Amino acid sequence: MIHAFFAATLLYPLVGALAIAIFGRGSEAVSAGIARVTTVIGTAFSLSLLTAWLSLGATSLQADLGGIGLGGDRTLPLSFLLDGTGAVFLLVTTLASAMVVRYSVVYLHREEGFTRFFSTIYTFLFGMHLVLLAGSLDLLFAGWEIVGIASFLLIGFYGDRELPVRASLRAYAVYRFCDLGLLLGVCLTHFVWRSGLMFQHMEVLDAHASAQWLTGFGLLMLVAACGKSAQFPFSFWLPRAMEGPTPSSAIFYGALSIHVGIFLLLRTSPLWEGSLTARIAIAAVGLLSALVATTSGRAQSNIKGQIAYASITQVGLMLVEVALGLHKLALLHFVGNAFLRCFQLLVSPSILANMLRMRPGPMAPRRSRMAALSPRLAASLYALSFNEWYLEAAIRSLLLRPLRGLGSLLQVKALRAVGALLAIAVLAAVLLRLDDPVTRDLGAAVLATLMLACSVHAVASVGAPERSWNAAAASCFLSGAAVFAASGLESSHDVSVYLLGTVPPWLLGLAVIRIRSGAGNSRIRLSEARAGLLLLFAFLALSGFPIGPAFIGEDHLLHRSVEHHQWLTVMLAVAFVLNGFTLAAAFSQVARGPRRNQSNAVKSSEAPGLRPAPAGELLRKYSKVTPGEAMNSGVMK
């Protein structure tokens, strides 16, 4: 019975998302109907699971729903867990999402992308439920990625304008970078305990590991949390992410997605709580974030940016509470903040009327404590807040610019040819001397280095979609080669699964990119929407999103390497994270971006088909009546 509740709660958003995507295409009424029904049924599922949890003593409820065979003797156990923390988060998720769906069904009426909006929202909810109910860190990671991708898609919901596309990539870049923390955390658990981290056994595990591993684990979790929860030094992406429809901003950055970092820390706290270093780091980051956000928020003169920073401030304080061990307080704080910011965002368009019409007196300049400061200090403090503590600029020049500089070295064609030849030569040498561990290790090192070079090159080539797509794919293939070299024949199955999962999406994506860019005299025509969908699929499959074999393959590769070649694991993780970002960027460039003059931006008036005609053709075609004649005759008076 409990199993059924778990399965139902977990799966209803996925079923809803798929149903809307399949049956709702082109019909707002059908999409809205499915969304409403899914919400009602889903709320019932969630509430019955919560009731069951309460009636069974409100402690910790588990369900093992079998496992996914990964080939060989390995399985990914589908084990789920609901405890107090999860229950509070699940309740807020269920209620807030139900409200937002009901709100959006009317709010998005007649909007282009109505179907897309709801299928993405439900995909997000699926990811959210997976995060909240996961019994292991591996499963949580899968949900974490789904939440990230849904966020990326909804920030870029209005993909025909430049700003949303840029904002969505900015957010996704931060997500990917911080996912490195979670990915390495997962690898660390496999390395230290030889198995995935099961949340119900954490107290036992604690005893088996040395203190520095636990500290390291805590810090990795902190890095992961900082991305999704927009904490220091990554807080800059959140206000800029307010590009989607208001309800999507409300559910992601007011209510739910912004708080998953807190959930992750609460969930894994038994492991790192013993480490003072980790606790101090978490509290320090939280405090710093709160300080950055509260000052930056004061200099925001737009309502959504202000609410975003208010939210970051409170999440920062939650980090402090979590670090201090005040879990119940943090939970209470979360519930309050989630509903408050969600509501504030939903009614943010009202601010004008509230402040103008309801205001009892004339606008008097607010008393400000700034006045008490010396002018120089006040000016500097305002500059600091105005520039949001220069965090974006700092991240760009510390992380992105060196990466791009490094990658642009590889623009030299000859260098790339040398790299390719080297890869082939090393692979051949490894194949010839499979039983020599030294050759294999050396080969793996070279291949992994080349893999990283490809990833970095791909980052530097963002802007040239085809090249960065290929470079990222090459990096994927090299990762397989490196693992093969390191582990030898025993890994051939894993590597082939991985290649099976990456080659088709690479080719698919390449084809779409070439067709869209008009290269290769292709006669195939792809509509914007279809190309976007295909490319999205290719990008997700290639970057190891849990929809294709590449996901299992990626897991294999990491698992293989973690046993004997931990340095390789770290390199693989870095490469996967970088590739995920570049593939997203290539997707954005090809399938998104301004397309003026093609449709009228009003739903009822879309021009059918896409048949670009040269400008003069139109005139020539009706040359019987000369245009000038019609014009001069005063037609158009």
Partner 1 sequence: MTFGDFDLPASLERIRHWLPTQGPIKDFIHHNTLHAFQHLPFYEGVELAAATFGARDYLSLAEYESMWSAGKISDAGISLALAATALPEERRAELRAAMFREAAGGAEPPLPAPDSLRKRWREERGLDLDAKTHPTLFRLLAGYLDQGVGLWRVPHVNHSFYGALARWVEESALPIGTLSRAVCRRLLKLPPADAVKDCLSRMVGDESGWEAYLLDMFLAHPGWSGMVNVLEGSPHSLLERRQISLLEAAAIELILERGQLERDLGADFPPLLAPGTAWKGLRGSESHRNPDRSLHRLWQAALEWTVHGDILAGVAHVARNPAPAPAPKAQALFCIDDRECSLRRHLEELEPRISTFAYAGFFGLDFVFQSVNGGVPIKQCPAPATPRHLIREDAQRNKRPRLRRGIPRHLHSAAHSKTLFRGWMLTPVLGLWSSVRLAQSVLHPTSSWFAQNKVNAAESTVIHYLRNGDEKSIDGYHLGYSYPEMADRVGATLRNIGLTRGFAPLVFIVAHQASSTNNPHFAAYDCGACSGRSGAPNARAFALMANDPELRKILLARGFDIPAETHFVGAIHDTTRDEIAYFDLEALPATHLDAFQEFRIAMGTALGRNASERVRRFELAPRGMDPKSAREHVRLRSEAIFEPRPELNHATNAACIVGRRSLTRSLFLDRRSFLNSYDPTIDPDGDILAGLLGALVPVCGGINLEYFFSRVDNSVYGAGTKLPHNVVGLLGVANGVEGDLRTGLPSQMIELHDPVRLLMLVEQSPEVALRAATKNPAVYEWLKNDWIRFACISPEDASTHILRGSRFERFETGTIPPRAQTSAALLAGQREPLPVHVLSFEVPS
Q: Which two tokens stand for residue 443?
A: 């080969």
- Which residues are CB-contacts of 150 (< 8 A; sequence separation ≥ 6)? 120, 121, 123, 124, 127
Report in angstroms how near the CB of residue 85 gets to partner 1 at its nearest. Answer: 17
Distances (CA, A) of 353 to 350, 357, 436, 463: 5, 5, 76, 43
User: Which of residues 38 and 246 has its CB atom nearest to partner 1 in the complex?
Assistant: 246
- Nearest to 575, CA basis, from 456, 399, 460: 456
Q: Omega into 247 within 30° of 0, i.e. cis? A: no
User: Which of residues 217 and 252 has its CB atom nearest to partner 1 in the complex?
Assistant: 252
Is residue 593 at the binding interface for partner 1, with CB under 8 A as the rule? Answer: no
How many residues make contact with partner 1 (CB under 8 A)? 127
Give the Cα-Cα-Cα angle 221, 227, 233 (nearest 5 degrees). 100
Measure the CA–CA gap between 82 and 84, rounded to whole angstroms: 7
Report in angstroms how near the CB of residue 624 gets to partner 1 at its nearest. Answer: 5
Residues 8-33, buried b or exposed e (16+ Cβ, 10 A)?
bbbebbbbbbebbbeebeeebeebbb
Restricting to residues 234-253, which ones interact with partner 1 according to CB under 8 A? 239-240, 242-247
Is residue 288 at the binding interface for partner 1, with CB under 8 A as the rule? Answer: no
Is residue 608 at the binding interface for partner 1, with CB under 8 A as the rule? Answer: yes
Report in angstroms how near the CB of residue 538 gets to partner 1 at its nearest. Answer: 27
User: Which of residues 145 and 388 has its CB atom nearest to partner 1 in the complex?
Assistant: 388
Interface segment toward partner 1; rule CB under 8 A; list 225-233, 382-390, 423-431, 444-452: 382-390
Is there a contact between 88 and 567 (Cβ–Cβ < 8 Å)?
Answer: no
Report in angstroms how near the CB of residue 105 gets to partner 1 at its nearest. Answer: 8
Is there a contact between 155 and 244 (Cβ–Cβ < 8 Å)?
Answer: yes
Report in angstroms how near the CB of residue 304 gets to partner 1 at its nearest. Answer: 4
Q: Which two tokens stand for residue 250?
A: 């409300």
Restricting to residues 41-60, which ones interact with partner 1 according to CB under 8 A? none
Strand partners, 134: 80
Report in angstroms how near the CB of residue 210 gets to partner 1 at its nearest. Answer: 36
Q: Which of 1, 57, 210, 376 binds partner 1 (CB under 8 A)?
A: 376
Is residue 64 at the binding interface for partner 1, with CB under 8 A as the rule? Answer: no
Is residue 431 at the binding interface for partner 1, with CB under 8 A as the rule? Answer: no
Report in angstroms how near the CB of residue 233 gets to partner 1 at its nearest. Answer: 16
Is residue 380 at the binding interface for partner 1, with CB under 8 A as the rule? Answer: yes
Q: Strand, helix or coil at 314?
A: helix
Q: Which two tokens stand for residue 276?
A: 């003072």
Contact code string over 100-139 relative to partner 1, x by CB under 8 A: --xxx-xxxxxx----------------------------
Measure the CA–CA gap between 115 and 106, rounded to whole angstroms: 13
Contact code string over 66-105 relative to partner 1, x by CB under 8 A: -----------------------------x---x--xxx-
Could you tell me where the DSSP H helices lie in 198-275? 202-208, 211-228, 237-240, 246-249, 260-272
Is residue 636 at the binding interface for partner 1, with CB under 8 A as the rule? Answer: yes
Contact code string over 294-333 relative to partner 1, x by CB under 8 A: x--xxxxxxxxxxxxxx--xx--x--------------xx
Rounded to a whole number, what is the largest CA-CA distance in the chain? 94
Report in angstroms how near the CB of residue 54 gets to partner 1 at its nearest. Answer: 19
Restricting to residues 609-628, which ones interact with partner 1 according to CB under 8 A? 609-616, 618-619, 621-622, 624-625, 627-628
Residue where the block lists tokens 């840029």: 166
Restricting to residues 335-374, which ones interact with partner 1 according to CB under 8 A? 335-340, 342-344, 346-363, 365-366, 368, 370
Residue 394, number of CB atoms within 10 A of its CB: 12
- Which residues are CB-contacts of 621 (< 8 A; sequence separation ≥ 6)? none
Restricting to residues 166-195, which ones interact with partner 1 according to CB under 8 A? 166-167
Q: Give me the torsion for CA of 214, 76, 9, 344, rounded to 10°.
A: 40
Interface segment toward partner 1; rule CB under 8 A; list 539-547, 561-569, 572-580, 605-613: 605-613
Is residue 398 at the binding interface for partner 1, with CB under 8 A as the rule? Answer: no
Is residue 598 at the binding interface for partner 1, with CB under 8 A as the rule? Answer: yes
Q: How far apart are the first and last CA of the chain?
A: 76
Q: Which two tokens stand for residue 282?
A: 């978490």
